[in-house]
Chain A
């Protein structure tokens, strides 16, 4: 069995129909456990006070904002190289989820930044590259909506996705090579010294798992919708021809 078999819409619909309810339930469970644990049962940080609780939304949303774009990059490359329609539709389906994740990261970041940095916003490398990533998401969705021919839309949005990937990577690594920013380095690290304390880390892992699973569930649901819309359009076109 090959992964490419799932580029067949019929096989994709059959498999995703079975997987979707399981992923959706797991996502809900992880989010409820992580957010309730983090909000109600973790202590305040000695420096940041109760604002540390924003980490359970800000970090998973920011992680997803970047990784959704990278997933779109992979599916766009698959479209460009192998011309699998499900792949292009999956990229299209992922973009609105990425917008929401980026928006949550930007808004929670601003709300967190105001009491900690004394400002809602700074033209810091990470914040700025995140804002540009948000604009790329909007541009990507607008481009899909603006082009009637599906294959041309998939081609052009794939190219836009390749260009935007620079900002997706920049928003992840900007703090490492531009030191003048307000934003600190990554909250999560394999180095125990640099990682957040266990008391915050454990519920954070549940929240990250919840966000990843929510993304997968929404991606499957939205890709199934795109396949159905495409099928309806093609049947209507055949009706008109007959």
Chain B
């Protein structure tokens, strides 16, 4: 299944590895920040409504 990347295997795999790590990092960071902001706003709004 894995294509034969020949002598450039290291270059190709490291380019894919680094890019995928950065893409996953920005997605995870954005989701975590979003959840935190949502929870913080809910706390304040609940306190106001009490």
**Contact in complex: A108, B19 (CB < 8 Å):** yes
How many of B's residues come within 8 Å of A, CB to CB? 33
Interface residues of B in 1-31 (CB under 8 A from A): 1, 3-9, 11-12, 14-16, 18-19, 22-23, 25-27, 29-31
Q: Which of B1, B7, B15, B34 contacts A224 (CB 8 A)?
A: B34
**Contact in complex: A50, B6 (CB < 8 Å):** yes
Bound-complex Cα distance A144 to B22 (A): 22
CB within 8 Å for A108 and B15 given contacts A103-B22, A218-B26: yes
Residue numbers in A under 8 Å from B29 (CB-CB) = 96
**Contact in complex: B12, A53 (CB < 8 Å):** yes
**Contact in complex: B15, A58 (CB < 8 Å):** yes
Q: How far is the CB of A189 from chain B (nearest CB, A)?
A: 23
The residue in A40, A229, A236 that gathers the most chain B C-beta atoms within 10 A of its C-beta is A229
Residue numbers in B under 8 Å from A229 (CB-CB) = 37, 40
**Contact in complex: A107, B6 (CB < 8 Å):** no
Residue numbers in B under 8 Å from A231 (CB-CB) = 41
Bound-complex Cα distance A104 to B31 (A): 20
The residue in B1, B14, B23 that gathers the most chain A C-beta atoms within 10 A of its C-beta is B23
**Contact in complex: A57, B15 (CB < 8 Å):** yes
Which residue of B has the minimal Cβ distance to A28? B27
CB within 8 Å for A104 and B22 given contacts A39-B3, A50-B5, A50-B6: yes
Bound-complex Cα distance A57 to B22 (A): 12
Provide the main secondary structure of the chain B interface.
helix
**Contact in complex: A232, B11 (CB < 8 Å):** no
CB within 8 Å for A221 and B34 given contacts A40-B3, A228-B41, A232-B41: yes
Residue numbers in A under 8 Å from B38 (CB-CB) = 228
Interface residues of A in 147-205 (CB under 8 A from B): none
Bound-complex Cα distance A85 to B45 (A): 21
Interface code A31-60, partner B: CB below 8 Å = 1, 0 otherwise?
000010001100010000111011001100
Residue numbers in B under 8 Å from A96 (CB-CB) = 26, 29-30
Q: How far is the CB of B12 from chain A (nearest CB, A)?
A: 5
Which residue of A has the minimal Cβ distance to B48? A235
Bound-complex Cα distance A229 to B36 (A): 9
Residue numbers in A under 8 Å from B26 (CB-CB) = 96-97, 100, 218
The residue in B7, B16, B47 that gathers the most chain A C-beta atoms within 10 A of its C-beta is B16
Residue numbers in B under 8 Å from A115 (CB-CB) = 8, 11
16 contacts between A and B (CB under 8 A): A49-B6, A51-B8, A54-B15, A54-B16, A96-B30, A100-B23, A104-B18, A112-B15, A222-B30, A222-B33, A224-B34, A232-B37, A235-B41, A235-B48, A239-B44, A239-B48
Q: Which 7 A-B pairs have the closest CB atoms?
A: A228-B37, A50-B5, A57-B19, A111-B15, A100-B26, A108-B15, A225-B37
